[in-house]
């Protein structure tokens, strides 16, 4: 186990370094010049040169990269070219928003998706399955930005049940925080629930027709025990895989939802940074997203071996 974690840590470090290089080069390959974006009215060569010098943009790329990695290793993500605030403080405000939104959305999605998936499999060919399948189809095909707009229109603007936008940190006022985040989380979660439901349903259909479920029935177990302990336990690998992938996607990709609900999260920060060629911010965001993916993947792999004893973690590289 320790050896496995060590191997994985080593692999993760390599992955992180590679993604850092790709982003560093990629960002600079984009058309556009941050000095121009910052200079505003005064576009004299002197002013531009001063800006470039100030942010180290006049250095050769390898030197810039070396400096960047060195600072990053010390926890210094640099200063935003656009706002002048340290990137690390931008992250500490944006990250909790996105993490809270993502975790809440994935919990809602998993509860809805697994529940509906199990129901659809158990009640195969009956109205409950048609209903679950129909709802899943809607959840998959309706874009959630549109759902979000509808929700704002009817649940916020018309009735005032929920705030239309904004965010309150959880430490400031937990109730108000939940009030602000629950609507976007539900909107985000329903789309994901549809995918979880489809996957859970097909995995459950497999397990329910398996020999060990027949054995469980022959033992005289209650349907509940047969479904949860025997069939669902064996379907969880699929569920965990889907949820893991989705959670990774959410950390970087709740962009649209954050934008619609005016949540000051990662997504909003990324969009602003890309438009302004704010190199340090983009780099930090991508690096953090990559790190999140790596950690989530590791957790998923570790969970596999908890769920299914046939899967053993070893020190061998995969």
Partner 1 sequence: MTTASAPVLEIRDLSVSFPTETGTVSAVDGVSLDLAPGEIVGMVGESGCGKSVTAMSIAGLLPGSARVTGSVRLDGTQLIGARESALRRVRGREIAYIFQEPMTSLNPVLTVGRQIGEVLQVHERMSRRAARARAVELLTLVGIPSAALRVDSYPHQLSGGMRQRVMIAMAVACGPKVLVADEPTTALDVTVQAGILQVLRDLRDQLGTSVLIITHDLGVIADIADRVVVMYAGRVVERAPVDDLFANPRHRYTAGLLSASPQPGRHAGTDRLTEIPGLVPVLASQPDACTFADRCPAADQQCREAAPPLEGIGGTDHVAACWHPCTTAPTAPTAAQEANR
Q: Which positions lie near partner 1, rule CB under 8 A?
A: 210-212, 214-222, 225, 229-230, 233-234, 307-310
State how far the Cα of 306 lies from the Cα of 189, in Å rounded to an integer: 26
- Give the largest CA-CA distance in the chain: 85
State how far the Cα of 185 lies from the Cα of 148, in Å rounded to an integer: 10
Q: Which is nearer to partner 1, 62 or 310 (CB)?
A: 310
How near is the Cβ of 211 to partner 1 at its closest, in Å? 4
How near is the Cβ of 227 to partner 1 at its closest, in Å? 13
Q: Which is nearer to partner 1, 154 or 212 (CB)?
A: 212
Of 218, 196, 206, 43, nearest in space to 121 by CA: 206
How near is the Cβ of 216 to partner 1 at its closest, in Å? 7
Q: What is the 3-state secondary structure (H, E, C) of 36-89?
A: HHHHCCCCCHHHHHHHHHHCCCCCCHHHHHHHHHHHHHCCCCCECCCCCCEHHH
Q: Which is nearer to partner 1, 178 or 221 (CB)?
A: 221
CB distance 77 to 86 below 8 Å? yes
Q: Which is nearer to partner 1, 171 or 218 (CB)?
A: 218
State how far the Cα of 273 lies from the Cα of 123, in Å rounded to an integer: 49
State how far the Cα of 152 lies from the Cα of 165, in Å rounded to an integer: 8
State how far the Cα of 9 lies from the Cα of 295, in Å rounded to an integer: 10
Is residue 293 helix, strand or coil? helix
Q: Which is nearer to partner 1, 210 or 241 (CB)?
A: 210
Is residue 200 helix, strand or coil? helix
CA 157 to chain centre: 28
Helical axes 174-208 vs 127-141, angle rounded to 10°: 120
How near is the Cβ of 235 to partner 1 at its closest, in Å? 10
Phi/psi-derived region of residue 25, left when phi > 0, alpha when psi is between -120 and 50, beta in every other case: alpha
Q: Which is nearer to partner 1, 89 or 215 (CB)?
A: 215
How near is the Cβ of 21 to partner 1 at its closest, in Å? 41
How near is the Cβ of 307 to partner 1 at its closest, in Å? 7
How near is the Cβ of 312 to partner 1 at its closest, in Å? 10
How near is the Cβ of 210 to partner 1 at its closest, in Å? 7
Q: Which is nearer to partner 1, 240 or 251 (CB)?
A: 240
Return the H-helix or E-strand segment holding 177: helix 174-208
Q: Which is nearer to partner 1, 2 or 218 (CB)?
A: 218
């Amino acid at each position: 186990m320790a050896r496995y974690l060590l191997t994985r840590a080593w692999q993760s470090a390599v992955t992180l370094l590679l993604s850092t290089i790709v982003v560093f080069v990629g960002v600079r390959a984009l058309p556009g010049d941050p000095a121009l974006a910052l200079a505003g009215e005064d576009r004299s060569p002197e002013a531009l040169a001063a800006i470039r010098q100030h942010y180290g943009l006049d250095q050769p790329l390898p030197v810039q990269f070396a400096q960047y990695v060195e600072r990053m290793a010390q926890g210094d993500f640099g200063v935003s070219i656009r706002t002048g605030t340290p990137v690390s403080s931008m992250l500490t405000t944006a990250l909790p928003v996105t993490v809270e939104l993502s975790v809440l959305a994935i919990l809602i999605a998993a509860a809805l998706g697994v529940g509906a998936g199990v129901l659809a499999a158990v009640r195969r060919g009956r109205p409950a399955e048609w209903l679950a399948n129909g709802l899943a189809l809607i959840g998959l095909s309706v874009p959630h930005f549109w759902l979000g707009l509808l929700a704002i229109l009817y649940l916020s603007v018309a009735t005032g049940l929920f705030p239309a936008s904004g965010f309150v940190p959880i430490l400031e006022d937990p109730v108000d925080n939940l009030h602000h985040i629950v609507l976007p989380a539900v909107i985000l979660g329903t789309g994901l629930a549809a995918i979880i439901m489809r996957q859970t349903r097909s995995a459950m259909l497999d397990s329910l027709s398996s020999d060990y479920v027949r054995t469980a029935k022959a033992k005289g177990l209650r349907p509940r025990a047969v479904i949860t302990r025997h069939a669902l336990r064996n379907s969880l690998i699929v569920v965990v895989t889907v949820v893991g992938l989705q959670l990774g996607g959410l950390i970087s990709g709740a962009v649209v939802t954050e934008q619609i609900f005016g949540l000051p999260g990662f997504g909003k920060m990324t969009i602003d940074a890309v438009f302004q060629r704010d190199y340090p911010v983009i780099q930090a965001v991508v690096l953090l997203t990559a790190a999140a993916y790596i950690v989530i993947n590791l957790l998923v792999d570790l969970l596999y071996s908890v769920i299914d004893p046939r899967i053993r973690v070893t020190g061998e590289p995969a």
